[in-house]
Amino acid sequence: MTRRQAAVARRTEETDIQLDLCLDGRGTVEIDTGIGFLDHMFHALAWHAGFDLRLRCRGDLVVDDHHSAEDCALALGAAIDQALGDRAGIRRFGYAYAPLDEALARCVVDLSGRPQHEVRLGLRREKLGDLATENLTHVLRSLAMAARATLHVDVLRGDNDHHRAEAAFKATALALREAVGLRANGAVPSTKGVL
């Protein structure tokens, strides 16, 4: 089997990103975005999805965390899209629940080629570490758009915002792991014959 891999280099006036992804990995992860909590979320996502991910970002953190968070998500989404190719043989759909202590999150994904997102994390704190919590929602939405995926993420319960966010990223990881999995017949998983 050919390993589904992608490399993305994204350089703007705001960020300089190098990313290597293998969908058929072992969860080998090296991440340095300059934002500790963002590293933590991307690490959880890649490891639980079973992806090998190397991500390095140098961003304009002197401004704030927004550009780095958004651009890393766009780069990862683009790498997923690239690694999937024509998407023939994938399961396409995935769903998962993930708890973290008192928090419980659900994610449903369709690697349809049609980007759409509904993300409801219900976070109350302004920041987690050095990351604005509004950017966690933005990361998942940007990931969906660049990966050309439909993504629904809902945190169903939880009191601790760290737990709520981490449960959401773990549920997303597990749903992606299922959706990128391969079917036996190798066909494009669509009644249209194309995604």
Q: For residue 27, what is the DSSP state?
A: -
- Measured CA to CA, the distance from residue 97 to residue 108 in angstroms comes to 9
Give 192's pLDDT tier (boundaries 50, 70, 90).
confident
pLDDT for residue 188: 75
DSSP string, 87-124: -TTB--EEEEEEEETTEEEEEEEE-SS--EEEEE----
Which residues is 22 bridged to in the sheet?
5, 52
Residue with tokens 């968070």: 69
pLDDT for residue 100: 98
pLDDT for residue 1: 61
Q: Domain spans of the chain?
A: 5-180
CATH architecture of 5-180: 2-Layer Sandwich (3.30)
Residue with tokens 């690239």: 82
CA angle 98, 102, 104 (to 5 degrees): 30
114-128 per-position pLDDT tens digit: 999 999 999 999 999
